[in-house]
């Protein structure tokens, strides 16, 4: 029963799970994982609309996902580098502890 609606529902579910995780969990790495999940949900939307959309020959949705994967990889690299450098300063990856602006 693969249809546009089911794909979109899966995507919405993934997005909400990612959002909930990013908002609820305290660990910075898990927040990053949540953001990755949300990006993936968006990618799934692009693919679904490319597949069921009116003009699949243009490959626009697919191209967007390729670039989005590239951006997500860059984001993960920089985000994790930030988390590691943050950890070096304050010895925790718990974002609730990072509430002061001391360098």
Partner 1 sequence: MLFTIFATITVAGAVAAMSLRNLVHSVLALTLAFAGLAVVYLQLGAQFIGLAQILVYVGAVAILIVFAILLTRDAEATPKFIVDRSWKSSGAVAIASFGVLAWAIHHSAASRHAVPPQPEATMQQIGNGLMMRFALPLEIIGLLLTAALIGAVTIAIHEKQETR
- List of long-range contacts for 11-15, beta carbons under 8 Å, 24+ apart: 11/41, 11/42, 11/44, 11/45, 11/48, 12/41, 13/41, 14/38, 14/40, 14/41, 14/44, 15/41, 15/42
Shortest CB 10 distance to partner 1, Å: 5
DSSP 56: G
Binds partner 1 (CB under 8 A): choice among 35, 36, 98, 101: 36
Q: Residues in contact with partner 1, total (CB under 8 A)? A: 72
Shortest CB 65 distance to partner 1, Å: 5
User: Bridge partners of 94?
Assistant: 27
Binds partner 1 (CB under 8 A): choice among 42, 44, 98, 100: 44
Shortest CB 75 distance to partner 1, Å: 8
Shortest CB 100 distance to partner 1, Å: 16
Position 35 contacts partner 1 (CB under 8 A): no
Cα angle 23-9-38, degrees, rounded to a multiple of 5: 35
Hey, which residues between 62 and 81 contact partner 1 (CB under 8 A)?
Answer: 62-63, 65-67, 69-78, 80-81
């Amino acid at each position: 029963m693969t249809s546009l609606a089911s794909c979109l529902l899966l995507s919405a579910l993934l997005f909400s799970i990612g959002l909930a995780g990013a908002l609820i969990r305290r660990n910075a790495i898990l927040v990053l994982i949540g953001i990755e999940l949300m990006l993936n949900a968006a990618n799934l939307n692009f693919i679904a609309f490319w597949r069921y959309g009116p003009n699949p020959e243009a490959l626009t949705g697919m191209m967007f996902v390729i670039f989005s994967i590239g951006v997500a990889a860059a984001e993960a690299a920089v985000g994790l580098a930030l988390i590691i450098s943050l950890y070096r300063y304050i010895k925790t990856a718990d974002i609730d502890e990072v509430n002061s602006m001391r360098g």
